[in-house]
Structure 1
């Protein structure tokens, strides 16, 4: 029996979660240090599958290695068996009707409470898990696991409230038109990445808040933080079958899900190669599905900074260092290629070398380090291999270019100077602390326009980019040339750091479907609208006046 709806509720006013500074001797730093120390004393954690809210251990475990100390594991996660996954899918599909029927205000309350738990009770525990398991320093963990995830939930609830209010603007006399936003028929598979705890939470939250049920396939390299996030959702009151937590072998779990008749959607963040493969696999299965599955994905980037001769050089260098080396360049939005005018290069290079020398690299548990470890051995080998390829292609290493995996997976912040704007490190995604610089001859006629065209045609990606100039005319010119080169475009600011509620995030071309997480747009993708027309009158004759003679 449906619940009575006795009012149209308004959610509380939402705002971005204030970010804490963790200054020396502050209470926040002491609390975070205590959470890290406690977690280190308890590892490795044993992570079960969570099926219908119950812990299930299969005995077949995958390790989550500490990237700063790879001989130790943060956690060991039990892999979902095919039988367990089948049960999870069946239970979630059965639970969908009750979840869909739950009043909107109650769904909203669950996730608003989850946001408060993230920002309060579990803040330091989530941050500690993100620091130890994913190699983030305190500030990177703060803006991710605490602030951004709380923002995703709070603003997401606000956006869905606003979406539900979008109704047909016209009603002919004697009729009432209205629209309802139904969930998809079946389950949504969320495949989440290692690099942002908040993205893990958001990829299941966005479908769930629309009334969908989800199978959550977490990254093995972020499984503990994702497990805590799921625990928080259950504590906030999420019905246990709405989101099923199923760690395990990615290809096997994903294949079983997309081969299922009730598969209704994919919410994905990861590599471009994998996303394209999944799209093709889903297309091959179209005849088995009830409808056309929704495919929502954000993948890679080859993000750029373009500097005009009028740009503030020192500020531009600082922005490049932050954009390229924060979290070891392991952000989808991280700076990878720089275009610097020849007339400013001597000054730019001098400041860049001076500032990069100040960067220390080390464990995230040591507060002074700006750069920590990369996530694991495959990433380490890819990044160092790309640096070697860059040198072999004629690139000059002007900073960094060294690495050490004796204890943790450390790569020194590296800047490569190239004379070939289409060299391997200018075109292929690296996902590590590596920036390649191309110096363009700004004395050449049309150099600014030609460099914009070069940026636009060099790679298949179009995620983020930034232009630095004190000349408004040149900013406008670059913005027009680069309109399709980045889904998130910055003027005199670095190409990383999109904030929920301020800069909706996503890119096009090979970078994804550009559905803009952190905005209303993403929620449309997990809804199937129904238009309803109600007639208050009666029809006495089938004929129209035009039929009269």
Structure 2
């Protein structure tokens, strides 16, 4: 993969270079490249070529579709090292996270959908009404519009593209304007691998491009990952034409520690759960609820481990967390910490803006915060957590559920019965027991409440990108149908 200074849009098999916006390296604050800036007219061109490509792709057999996607995944794997480096430059995340997590997991996700399309499930064909045979078909939706966020740009693109293509759709995808590079490269690699032109189209730009995708009469589904506020706008626009919508929105995951838990394991797990990707993760543990009996023990060890985290440049081997993605994001994070400080909330560690270049922010722990404080109720999306107390199981569940979001949570206990009760009671799409963050391509990812609806990953995601059709055959050839007698009494 050659080093580029300008990244074009990909529409069909064309590289479109109109417009230009600077791309900033979060670790230095300096421009490292530019990207094309699309318009609603570019969206219209992309949807037009996607619509044509989709008609042909939908006719391809499941086996051929699977093979084409597997070749695509192989082509991505051949360029995985370059993709990981580019992802880290564009987002500021540690290279070891891109190399060991984001890129290989995304490729695995595409391979998963390449395989699962060959084993689709549904009701067995049979005579549910006497004299007739019913069968289920899963049809592609058509052109899917996708809008993805800046925290995991390559992974979120793969999560949308995998099920969309497997189901027989084409896709027009808008990456976040500040982190488009690996999505553009993904679309180029798709063409190089032999996937038909027009199946994956990338239109870069600001909100007007996203709105054009949502409004276009020929996008029949909108899939969005991002903030709850923007997700509501996406849903509003899509509703004008009754489009299918999936939304993976904000999160504020509770991390519930009971007194019988292994506190060392909890503290070690808390560090990864809170600070991976510099806390810019909708499933990150951000609200720690610790039972009174072990509160001080947990807080002391968690704080000690937090102070040992290596914050630095993405390509340094000893870097655990890199910078936040932008100056705007750092100002937002620091503003919420300053608000907590002004409210008299104790800060166990962190909370100060560091000197030097880049958008770095230290891991920060706020202690015993009011449940109604913004730092508890609102998504901070940075390396900032709150550690609060709870008394008993009922209290823990009430606190865990007392927010607008419900994307993820974890429960830490050695009591299996308690784990079963609490995981059932917590309102979240994923609940881990004695761990936090692991995901699998075979398992669904999505939320409750204002964390959205619909699923990424798994068989459930493939179903989101299809329309179920009932086909019914007359077995008898008898022109005088039984139902005719029922309806007309003859």
The TM-score, its normalising length taken from structure 2, stands at 0.94
Kept in 2: contact 1:126–1:145 (CA 8 A): no
Residues 405/207 of structure 1: CA separation in 2 closer, same or farther (3 Å cut): farther
- The residue aligned with 2:414 is 470
Question: Aligned-residue CA RMSD in angstroms?
Answer: 2.1
Residues 261/312 of structure 1: CA separation in 2 closer, same or farther (3 Å cut): same
Rounded to whole Å, the distance in 2 between the matches of 1:386 and 1:95 is: 47
Instruction: Please identify, of 187-196 and 530-539, the stretch whose mean Cα deviation from structure 2 is larger.
Output: 530-539
Rounded to whole Å, the distance in 2 between the matches of 1:477 and 1:174 is: 48
Q: Pick the aligned partner of 2:460 from 521, 529, 543.
A: 521
For the residue of structure 2 that corresponds to 1:161, the secondary structure is coil
Q: May I ask how many residue pairs the two structures share in their alignment?
A: 486
- The residue aligned with 2:428 is 486
Q: Pick the aligned partner of 1:61 from 3, 6, 20.
A: 20
Rounded to whole Å, the distance in 2 between the matches of 1:64 and 1:499 is: 32
Kept in 1: contact 2:72–2:195 (CA 8 A): no
For the residue of structure 2 that corresponds to 1:125, the secondary structure is helix
Q: Does 1:497 align with 2:438?
A: yes
- The residue aligned with 2:8 is 48
Kept in 2: contact 1:449–1:481 (CA 8 A): no
Gaps of 5+ in 1: 1-34, 287-291
Gaps of 5+ in 2: none
For the residue of structure 1 that corresponds to 2:34, the secondary structure is strand
Q: Pick the aligned partner of 1:277 from 218, 233, 236.
A: 233
Offset of residue 108 of structure 1: 1.2
- Summarize the alignment of residues 392-411 of structure 1 with structure 2, pairs less than 5 Å apart: 392-404=342-354, 406-411=356-361
Q: Pick the aligned partner of 1:90 from 26, 36, 48.
A: 48
- The residue aligned with 2:305 is 355
Offset of residue 264 of structure 1: 0.6
Rounded to whole Å, the distance in 2 between the matches of 1:311 and 1:84 is: 55
- The residue aligned with 1:24 is none
Q: Pick the aligned partner of 2:214 from 258, 281, 286.
A: 258
Rounded to whole Å, the distance in 1 between the matches of 2:354 and 2:288 is: 26
Kept in 2: contact 1:234–1:240 (CA 8 A): yes
- The residue aligned with 1:217 is 174
Q: Pick the aligned partner of 2:265 from 296, 309, 315.
A: 315
Offset of residue 326 of structure 1: 1.1
Rounded to whole Å, the distance in 1 between the matches of 2:481 and 2:290 is: 73
Q: Pick the aligned partner of 1:510 from 431, 446, 450.
A: 450
- The residue aligned with 2:382 is 432
Q: Pick the aligned partner of 1:329 from 275, 279, 290.
A: 279
Rounded to whole Å, the distance in 1 between the matches of 2:415 and 2:218 is: 55
Residues 95/418 of structure 1: CA separation in 2 closer, same or farther (3 Å cut): same
Q: Does 1:180 align with 2:137?
A: yes
Rounded to whole Å, the distance in 2 between the matches of 1:55 and 1:548 is: 65
Residues 365/177 of structure 1: CA separation in 2 closer, same or farther (3 Å cut): same
Rounded to whole Å, the distance in 2 between the matches of 1:310 and 1:116 is: 46
Kept in 1: contact 2:455–2:464 (CA 8 A): no
Kept in 2: contact 1:107–1:209 (CA 8 A): yes
Post-superposition Cα deviations, 1:214-242, rounded to whole Å, max 9, x if no partner, equal 11111123211111111121122211112
Rounded to whole Å, the distance in 2 between the matches of 1:417 and 1:301 is: 20
Post-superposition Cα deviations, 1:387-415, rounded to whole Å, max 9, x if no partner, equal 11111222111011122363110000000
Q: Does 1:199 align with 2:149?
A: no
Kept in 2: contact 1:398–1:415 (CA 8 A): yes
Q: Pick the aligned partner of 1:365 from 306, 309, 315.
A: 315
Offset of residue 545 of structure 1: 8.2
Rounded to whole Å, the distance in 2 between the matches of 1:302 and 1:545 is: 59
Kept in 2: contact 1:415–1:436 (CA 8 A): yes
- The residue aligned with 1:412 is 362
